[in-house]
Amino acid sequence: MALPVAFFGVFFAYPVAAIVVRGLKLDGVWQFGRIGEVLGDSGIRHVLWFTTWQALVSTALTLLIALPGAYVFARFDFRGKEILRAVVTVPFVLPTVVVGTAFLALVGHGGLFDELWGVRLDTTVWAILLAHVFFNYAVVVRTVGGLWAQLDPRQEEAARMLGASPSAAWRRVTLPALAPAVAAAALMVFLFTFTSFGVVQILGGPTFSTLEVEIYRQTSEIFDLATAAVLTIVQFVAVGLILALHAWTVRRRETALRLVDPSLTARRPRGAGQWALLGAVLATVVVLILLPLGVLVERSLDAPGFGYYKALTSDDSGIFLVAPIEAVGNSLKYAGAATVIALLIGGLAAAALTRRAGRLVRGFDALLMLPLGVSAVTVGFGFLIALDEPPLDLRSSWILVPLAQALVGVPFVVRTMLPVLRAVDERLREAAAVLGASPWRVWREVDLPMVRRALLVAAGFAFAVSLGEFGATVFIARADNPTLPVAVARLLGRPGALNYGQAMALSTILMVVCAVALLVLERLRTDRTGEF
């Protein structure tokens, strides 16, 4: 546990603490009265209220739309199922900037809806809610569907034979077993929407602001570090409560369940009702997921002769010191380094969690999840504030970006590898040790062959989420080495059709890279590593 704890202490806790201290400590005196002033401001209270209610509504809509999909993927077997599973996962690993861009092309000024029916939803809350459902659909499908596929259907069939109606059997047998997974998925969706940044910034305009967007505005535009520090504390407390609830639901989910091989529970749809349900889910995927991505691609091809893509090779726009296309190479390089770091830190953390138990370890597990919810904007700005003196003066080093990206990748590595490591029979390790194998050889000969596929899946997820990290990178990526999400955001922030078209082209490139990575992961996926 030593290396992961040190990593999070230096590159997560220290930068966040530096921002809080810088904001609330003036001339060596703590200004705790500033907390009441900030929370008493009507504008800040409006931000807190909007952040909370839009997260609640986004969570409810996501559950309503995605739960039928979870059932279809869990219980039905149909042609193209694995490809479709990868397709619905693509939005989750896309940068929120790309998600916002896709919906901007669909419902924004000059978008598809505007051209066909004169309907614009940008700068409205509906665009934000739809984009959040688009982004989090896979969280519900894979978290709830992953457990649903392993529930023994004979328990519900037994209730039916004892006289229960289909609805009563589902309500009394299946729903209680699924409740922890549904609660865990709902909490994760709420967490991601509560801390939403790129989607709200692009689609909400100046009208709507979440905590994350307000922290960014206070630090980068107003430079009011005191207000940013108070909002960071509020978000930290809220995220801590959400993660504590999530850990409790996960522990409930892991106990008292009778699970079977998912391949034994899926079958072809039977009857008109099941085929209609499958058709409805496929239509939902087409309209909610494929349509925004398709419009994004179409807008990137608007210029004749791939004009927007060709323009990416030129730096004449003056937005960057290099041609925008170089952001592709930068992102791949940064994401590759971040993946190596995330695998090292996350692999050690997962191994520690497997071999130990107790309250301290549960706290360590919660620590690993905090970067998913704590303001990435605060972390990025904290890097600039805190890592400015030897031996940690990294502001001019390229490694700063991969370090920030790895913080987001580590939780995915841990969550992917932990179930597989826990499934390894401890007696195999003990037998190898009795036969004279050293601890290193036990790991190499026993653990590694069993977790190799999970390790590859973890690497793929870490690479994809690192590729799309935006909140922290927007502060620390230099103008001569922009990443893809930063380049997209800067292009969208400048007027002109050419800048808009180049943003669409870069977003399409990033989407294709993520889709290819997900298709590869789907072929590597095992039943235990397929869940979030």
Query: d(Cα 261, Cα 152) in Å, to the nearest integer?
Result: 9
Q: Shortest CA distance to 462 belongs to which of 414, 395, 397?
A: 414
Judge if 175 and 321 occupy the same domain: no
Six-digit token string for 474: 């927007």
Is 222 a domain residue? yes
Residue 531 has pLDDT above 50, yes or no: no
Q: Name the more confident of 390 and 255.
A: 390
Q: Name the more confident of 326 and 359.
A: 326
What pLDDT does 280 receive?
A: 93
What pLDDT does 38 receive?
A: 86
Tell me the mean pLDDT in the region 470-498: 82
Query: d(Cα 297, Cα 306) in Å, to the nearest integer?
Result: 11
Structural domain total, the chain: 2
Judge if 330 and 273 occupy the same domain: no
Task: Tell me the three-class secondary structure of 310-361, residue by residue.
Answer: HHCCCCCCCCCCCCCCHHHHHHHHHHHHHHHHHHHHHHHHHHHHHHCCCHHH
Domain end position, chosen among 267, 300, 333? 300
Query: d(Cα 201, Cα 143) in Å, to the nearest integer?
Result: 28
Judge if 239 and 350 occupy the same domain: no
pLDDT in tens, 361-384: 767 777 787 787 677 888 888 888
Query: d(Cα 357, Cα 364) in Å, to the nearest integer?
Result: 10
Is 168 a domain residue? yes
Q: Name the more confident of 221 and 284.
A: 284
Residue 479 has pLDDT above 50, yes or no: yes
Judge if 270 and 321 occupy the same domain: no
What pLDDT does 182 receive?
A: 86
Range of the domain at 266: 32-300
What pLDDT does 66 receive?
A: 93
Cα angle: 105, vertex 493, 517; to 5 degrees: 55
Tell me the mean pLDDT in the region 48-61: 94
CATH number where 421 lies: 1.10.3720.10
Which of the four pLDDT bands, split at 50, 70 and 90, describes residue 276?
very high
Is 16 a domain residue? no
Judge if 56 and 127 occupy the same domain: yes
What pLDDT does 256 receive?
A: 45
Is 394 a domain residue? yes
pLDDT > 90 fraction of the chain, expressed in percent and rounded: 14
pLDDT in tens, 247-257: 776 665 544 44
Domain end position, chosen among 263, 279, 300? 300
Six-digit token string for 315: 């730096």
Domain end position, chosen among 300, 320, 340? 300
What pLDDT does 318 receive?
A: 62
Could you tell me if 509 and 100 are in contact, meaning their C-beta atoms sit under 8 angstroms apart? no
DSSP letter, residue 496: S
C-beta atoms surrounding 303 within 10 Å = 18
Judge if 261 and 347 occupy the same domain: no
pTM above 0.85, yes or no: no
Judge if 149 and 247 occupy the same domain: yes
**Mean pLDDT of the chain, nearest integer:** 82
Is 106 a domain residue? yes
What pLDDT does 337 receive?
A: 94
Tell me the mean pLDDT in the region 106-116: 82
Is 128 a domain residue? yes
What pLDDT does 530 receive?
A: 42
Alpha carbon 14 to chain centroid, angstroms: 23
Q: Which residue bears the tokens 């290819």?
A: 516
What pLDDT does 264 receive?
A: 59
pLDDT in tens, 165-204: 877 887 787 788 788 788 878 888 998 899 888 888 888 8
**Coil vs helix vs strand at 30:** strand
Judge if 295 and 320 occupy the same domain: no
Residue 316 has pLDDT above 70, yes or no: no
Is 13 a domain residue? no
What counts of helices (H) and strands (E) characterise the chain?
Answer: 27, 2
Residue 265 has pLDDT above 70, yes or no: no
Judge if 349 and 470 occupy the same domain: yes
Query: d(Cα 406, Cα 528) in Å, to the nearest integer?
Result: 23
Judge if 424 and 487 occupy the same domain: yes
Judge if 335 and 283 occupy the same domain: no
Is 26 a domain residue? no
Residue 526 has pLDDT above 60, yes or no: no
Which of the four pLDDT bands, split at 50, 70 and 90, describes residue 259?
low
What pLDDT does 532 receive?
A: 42
Judge if 315 and 288 occupy the same domain: no
pLDDT in tens, 418-429: 777 777 777 887
